[in-house]
A = this chain, B = another copy of it.
Amino acid sequence: MSAGAVADIGVGMLGYGFMGRAHAHAYRTLSYMTWPPPLLPRLVALAGRDAAAVRDAAQRFGFDEPVGDWRALVADARVQLFDNCGPNGVHAEPTIAAARAGKHVICEKPLGRDAGEAYATWQAVEATGVKHMCAFNYRFVPAVRLARELLEAGELGELRHFRGSYLQDWNAAAEAPKVWRLDRALAGSGALGDLGAHVIDLARYLVGEIEAVSGCTRTFVRERDGGAVDVDDAVAAAVEFANGAAGTIEASRMALGRKNALSFEINGSRGSLAFELERLNELRVHRAGEPGFRTVLVTDPEHPFMRQWWPPGHVLGWEHTFVHELGHLLTAIRDDGDVAPYGATLADGYRAAEVCDAIVRSAEHGVRDRVIARTLRDAA
């Protein structure tokens, strides 16, 4: 089929670091793997403060123009989609401004530095009527989407357990310097918002709303080169779901030997599922009455997102989650459709933030936090 009739969409991006690079690459890959693409991304402008760096990044990523201030993107009529890949501290203001200027928005997670900021961002953007997405990209791993489909179809029966953790180790050495991710003013929280938020989003996406949490946090290295650390290095919590399931959530940047180890297992009355991000093409599935777990290589054409990729067994990489995520967003924009429930909206960004805050409160006060009372305010 020809893409001759495919409309295009102008993209303005804030930030050119790790996430900026991942999103930019995905815009370009989209039309290879989704043909015809829902909309053809036109990379209009890339914003960042360091003029030389942003110029170089714009060339590398294929943006037409580097700009010094995100306000230029907001003011640019060619930009129809504002993609916020900046640090946590510049999530709220630019995202709200872009939405108010009529641009659709996608914002990296965590949506805000705390639940209050996230809530305000969501509410302000929601009021404008644009499409909005919080970039919880792991919803777009084919194996995770397959898990969701199995769960929606009732294949696991009544859900009983969720155990999820996201473990990295880049911050394990006491000699590692204090970076922005270790500064509360810039990042809001530590492993909790950076890694734990992903686990929380998957827990909500796959199991349902979290009703209560009881947790603890740890900062193992409090003084680093560059100053005192005022965010958590790690967090652990017992979680209870509105549907009765119970389990654990954990995140750490100090689990030596674990590089990008997001994993979860779900047990229901009719079966179980298990997933590990470092082997993201695999989903392990058990069904009651059958022996053992099946290791499904999620690369068949009938698997989610895989129709236009490669033949079976030709595995995808981490970055391809963004191709699927942005394809989903562009489809919603083109069709005036819903980002939810398969994509995370800013409402999801807020709700994950509320659970993060609840873990912090329970850790501080030693009292189970019935987060659901807050989370569900303003729910549709």
Q: Which residues of A contact B (CB under 8 A)?
A: 1-4, 18, 21-22, 24-25, 28-29, 31-32, 35-36, 55-56, 59-61, 158, 160-161, 163, 165, 167-168, 170, 172-174, 212, 214-218, 220, 234, 236-240, 244, 246-248, 250, 252, 254-261, 265, 267-272, 277-281, 285-286, 288, 290-297, 299-300, 310-320, 362, 366-368
Contact = CB atoms under 8 A, between A and B. Distances in A.
22 contacts: A1-B56, A2-B55, A3-B60, A25-B29, A160-B252, A172-B288, A174-B269, A214-B214, A214-B362, A214-B366, A236-B247, A238-B238, A247-B250, A256-B269, A258-B272, A259-B299, A260-B311, A278-B313, A278-B315, A292-B294, A294-B295, A315-B318
Contact of A248 (B25, B236, B297, B367): B236
A1 to B, nearest CB: 7
A248 B1 CA distance: 45
Given A163-B250, A234-B160, A367-B366, A259 B317 contact: no
Contacts of A238: 214-216, 236-238, 248
Contacts of A296: 291-292
> In the complex this chain forms, how many copies of it are found?
4
B281 A290 contact: no
A270 B169 CA distance: 11
Nearest to A270: B256
Contact of A60 (B32, B265, B291): B32
Contact of A246 (B236, B267, B285, B311): B236
B244 A218 contact: yes
B216 A246 contact: yes
A86 to B, nearest CB: 18
Given A170-B311, A258-B267, 15 more contacts: A3-B60, A25-B29, A161-B255, A173-B288, A212-B216, A214-B216, A256-B270, A256-B286, A259-B312, A260-B299, A260-B311, A290-B294, A291-B296, A291-B300, A317-B319
Contacts of A172: 269, 288
Given A255-B272, A268-B256, A317-B316, A220 B59 contact: no
Contacts of A293: 257, 294-295
Q: Which of A2, A31, A271, A295 has the most CB of B within 10 A?
A: A295
Contacts of A165: 163
Given A24-B32, A234-B246, A281-B278, A254 B310 contact: no
A238 B218 CA distance: 12
A269 B61 CA distance: 38
Q: Which of A25, A173, A218 has the most CB of B within 10 A?
A: A218
A367 to B, nearest CB: 6
Contacts of A314: 260, 317-319
B25 A220 contact: no
A77 to B, nearest CB: 26
